[in-house]
A and B are shown apart, each in its own frame.
Chain A
Amino acid sequence: MSFGSRSRGSQGAGTEPRNPAASCDPLADLISGRFPDARGRFGPFGGRYVPETLIPALERLQQGIREHLHSANFQQELARELTSWAGRPTALTFAGRLSERWGARIWLKREDLAHTGAHKINNALGQALLARRLGAKRIVAETGAGQHGVASAAACARLGLPCTVYMGAMDMERQAPNVDRMRLLGATVVAVTSGDRTLRAAIDEALRDWVSDPLNTYYLLGSALGPHPYPYLVRELQSVIGREARAQIIERSGALPDAVIACVGGGSNSIGAFHAFIADRAVELIGIEAGGRGTALGENSATISFGRPGVLHGTYSMLLQDENGQIQETHSVSAGLDYPGIGPEHALLASVGRARYDTASDAEALEAVRTLCECEGILPALESAHALAGARRWAESHPGRSVLVCLSGRGDKDMPTLQKTLLAAKS
């Protein structure tokens, strides 16, 4: 039983584009682009569960999205910055030696080549441009692996906006290079020592900051989660990944891929990679969650695989929680996947069977880092390595078929972890 599971009458202001009322076939509604609905729901998931203080700020953001996001003027400005500053379109690389080794044709969408080293820049830049139009005086952001923090710091520097980034103290240790990058880019980095000292505690703290000054502060949320309209906004800004990749792979191979595989923490690179392929029903969509070191609560961050529906950080979605509704601590070797929730659109994709979610363990991800370095001369982020590990498994059961892997980021930031794992084992 859950409070969020019933659909109710429409009350909230509509999102953009305005969608007709959902029918009773969620898969058909999904394919025809009816989600989120007027109340910010993806089927039963999503919504807006925040303290009353934040409601006016969310309504203002929604109004700003309606006014600007799809306007020709905003889209031109965004496209110009994405091309001339962020380095888009990113390459699509055919991984020849990896394909030989794993047995399927493997294509890599190279988000690691985007400015600041990951897909996060697509969203950070878009939201920073929006924030400036909305008259924000300062930006706050949270970060896990530090990639969203670095992207936010860079975008804010580019636009001349002050930026404060909240980061869990444990993540600051394991992603130390990114902390220095954020500081060089002019951001104030605040160590979060409360809660589990990872991404989840950083979001709690960023929300508390935002609650304190909702009128002047813009919260630049880094993943496709949180209260409506964030899951929608982040998806719209990240869907450039799948749009580019779909056109590139058709141009290069003459066909759609048989599968698209992406790693899933909060779910922004994966929803960005999947979105353009939702209506291509023959294309299998596979999200790879962090399997960590085991299947027990606290040993992984695999929300769809092991979670139950609930409300955290403003949205009704799948959650790793105990029998009392307390949020569980999670584990993953990759800080960017170390989160107990997932964006509401993924919960819908899973529940209607349009996407499938599987896990890759810490060990499988580390092995995939080694393999991609050896075969293709690319050091992937530990997060993206989970997608590669999933692709390896898929390739073994689909010889000769083609798979598009979202290589969401590069692994330079992971050197402290790799020194303690892969490199320690080698020497």
Chain B
Amino acid sequence: MRGDESISAAILAAKARGEPALVAYLTAGFPSRDSFKQHLQAIAEAADVVEIGVPFTDPMADGVTIQRASHAALAQGVSLRWILAQLAAMPRVKAPLLLMSYLNPLLVLGPEALASSAARAGVAGFIVPDLPFDESAELRAGLESQGLALVQMVTPVTSSQRLEQICASSQGFLYAVTMTGTTGKNVAVPPEVTRYLDTVRSRSPVPVCAGFGIRGREQLELLRDHVDGVVIGSALVEVLERGADPARWLRDLRLSRS
């Protein structure tokens, strides 16, 4: 199965079980380089898709939690090359893997080399928060050659015309940002957000996952009929900061648990 198809399939399989898929985010090498493989394996058992964050010095779309985790990982020498080498050397995990990276660390490798080394490492796709649709043709072409997904984002302020364009090009899933702002703030789920998600879902040929500020079961319950999955980022990083068990925390989050 191509990378982009494996992501969509994993999300739809969760949805078929009657719950939103959990797309779990882990900053690579946080809290420590040594714990990376262990945390990744554990999270991949509990989540449906895993986003591995490539740390960057200037994460402009991220709030304080992910900024902190990124800087801690960089201080330990974590890099894209290190992440790809770790992934290539470990047994394949259960859930499809996405790399979430700002553009500049990816430019260093170039699109073809990036796509082939990512494919070798078992990566299924990419999310690049500072690469809007209009600038994405070259990276998308590079990833496409290896069947890898480029997940696009839409937001509540995206115009209707632009939403059409982005829906037509997103692969794996469509990342629907639930609010304006950076990651990690606790947000309510007002009716305009669910209406927006319904609109996005009605237009998108791929599954729709909501992200930015999703932290608990209550929000999941409110979102469940309006999305195919949810992205859990800062809240999970905070679990790691507390030294708690991320897999257990994710299993507790599942709506179908009881």
Q: Is the CB of B132 within 8 A of A325?
A: no
Cα distance A50–B134 in the bound complex, in angstroms: 10
Q: What 0/1 pattern do residues 95 to 123 of A give for CB contact below 8 A with B?
A: 00000000000000000000000000000
Determine the chain B residues whose CB is within 8 A of the CB of A1 once the complex forms. 107, 109-113
Which of B64, B104, B177, B180 has a CB less than 8 Å from the CB of A312?
B104
Q: Is the CB of A327 within 8 A of B58?
A: yes
Q: What 0/1 pattern do residues 65 to 93 of B give for CB contact below 8 A with A?
A: 00100010010000111000000000000
Cα distance A211–B111 in the bound complex, in angstroms: 28
Determine the chain A residues whose CB is within 8 A of the CB of B205 once the complex forms. none
Determine the chain A residues whose CB is within 8 A of the CB of B111 once the complex forms. 1, 3
Determine the chain A residues whose CB is within 8 A of the CB of B60 once the complex forms. 51, 204, 207-208, 211, 313
Q: Is the CB of B180 within 8 A of A53?
A: yes
Interface: A213 (CB within 8 A): yes
Q: Is the CB of B67 within 8 A of A8?
A: no
Q: How many contacts A-B (CB < 8 Å)?
A: 128
Cα distance A49–B180 in the bound complex, in angstroms: 17
Interface: B12 (CB within 8 A): no
Determine the chain A residues whose CB is within 8 A of the CB of B80 once the complex forms. 324-325
Determine the chain B residues whose CB is within 8 A of the CB of A190 once the complex forms. none
Cβ distance A60 to chain B, nearest Cβ, rounded Å = 10
Within 8 A of B (CB), among A295-317: 309-314
Which of B110, B159, B162, B182 has a CB less than 8 Å from the CB of A212?
B182
Determine the chain B residues whose CB is within 8 A of the CB of A326 once the complex forms. 56-57, 74, 79, 104-105
Q: Is the CB of A321 within 8 A of B138?
A: no
Cα distance A212–B60 in the bound complex, in angstroms: 11
Determine the chain B residues whose CB is within 8 A of the CB of A11 once the complex forms. 134
Q: Is the CB of A325 within 8 A of B106?
A: yes
Interface: A426 (CB within 8 A): no
Which of B64, B71, B130, B139 has a CB less than 8 Å from the CB of A51?
B130
Q: Which residue in chain A gives the minimum CB-CB distance to B130?
A: A49
Q: Is the CB of A52 within 8 A of B103?
A: no
Interface: A148 (CB within 8 A): no
Report, as a range, how many residues of chain A touch the other chain.
Answer: 35 or more
Which of B57, B107, B181 has a CB less than 8 Å from the CB of A3?
B107
Q: What 0/1 pattern do residues 222 to 248 of B give for CB contact below 8 A with A?
A: 000000000000000000000000000
Cα distance A116–B177 in the bound complex, in angstroms: 41
Determine the chain B residues whose CB is within 8 A of the CB of A84 once the complex forms. none
Q: How many residues of B contact A (CB 8 A)?
A: 49
Determine the chain B residues whose CB is within 8 A of the CB of A48 once the complex forms. 132, 134-135
Q: Is the CB of B57 within 8 A of A211?
A: no
Within 8 A of A (CB), among B131-160: 131-135, 137-139, 152-155, 157-159
Q: Is the CB of B107 within 8 A of A50?
A: no
Determine the chain B residues whose CB is within 8 A of the CB of A2 once the complex forms. 107, 110
Q: Is the CB of A55 within 8 A of B162?
A: yes
Cβ distance A134 to chain B, nearest Cβ, rounded Å = 15
Cα distance A326–B61 in the bound complex, in angstroms: 16
Q: Is the CB of A49 within 8 A of B177?
A: no
Q: Is the CB of A47 within 8 A of B104?
A: no
Q: Is the CB of B157 within 8 A of A56?
A: yes
Q: Which residue in chain B gives the minimum CB-CB distance to A310?
A: B104
Cα distance A231–B133 in the bound complex, in angstroms: 21
Determine the chain A residues whose CB is within 8 A of the CB of B154 once the complex forms. 52
Most-contacted residue by chain A among B63, B80, B102, B130 (CB, 10 A): B130
Determine the chain B residues whose CB is within 8 A of the CB of A52 once the complex forms. 132-133, 152-155, 158, 166, 177
Cα distance A208–B58 in the bound complex, in angstroms: 11
Q: Which residue in chain B gives the minimum CB-CB distance to A52?
A: B153
Cα distance A204–B66 in the bound complex, in angstroms: 14
Q: Is the CB of B58 within 8 A of A200?
A: yes
Q: Which residue in chain A gives the minimum CB-CB distance to B111?
A: A3
Q: Which residue in chain A gives the minimum CB-CB distance to B63?
A: A208
Which of A211, A312, A319 has a CB less than 8 Å from the CB of B181?
A211
Determine the chain B residues whose CB is within 8 A of the CB of A321 once the complex forms. 104
Cβ distance B187 to chain A, nearest Cβ, rounded Å = 12
Interface: A12 (CB within 8 A): yes
8 A-B Cβ contacts within 8 A?
A1-B107, A3-B110, A48-B134, A48-B135, A52-B152, A53-B157, A211-B61, A311-B130
Q: 7 smallest A-B Cβ distances: which pairs?
A: A1-B110, A325-B105, A324-B79, A212-B181, A325-B108, A325-B104, A51-B61
Q: Please give the residue numbers on chain A whose beta carbons come within 8 Å of chain B beta carbons, in ascending order.
A: 1-4, 6, 8, 11-12, 39, 47-53, 55-56, 194-195, 200, 204, 207-208, 211-215, 309-314, 319, 321, 323-327
Given contact pairs A3-B139, A195-B71, A326-B56, enumerate 18 new A-B contacts (beta carbons under 8 Å).
A3-B106, A3-B110, A3-B135, A3-B138, A49-B103, A49-B130, A52-B177, A55-B158, A194-B64, A204-B59, A208-B182, A212-B180, A310-B104, A311-B102, A324-B80, A325-B106, A326-B79, A326-B105
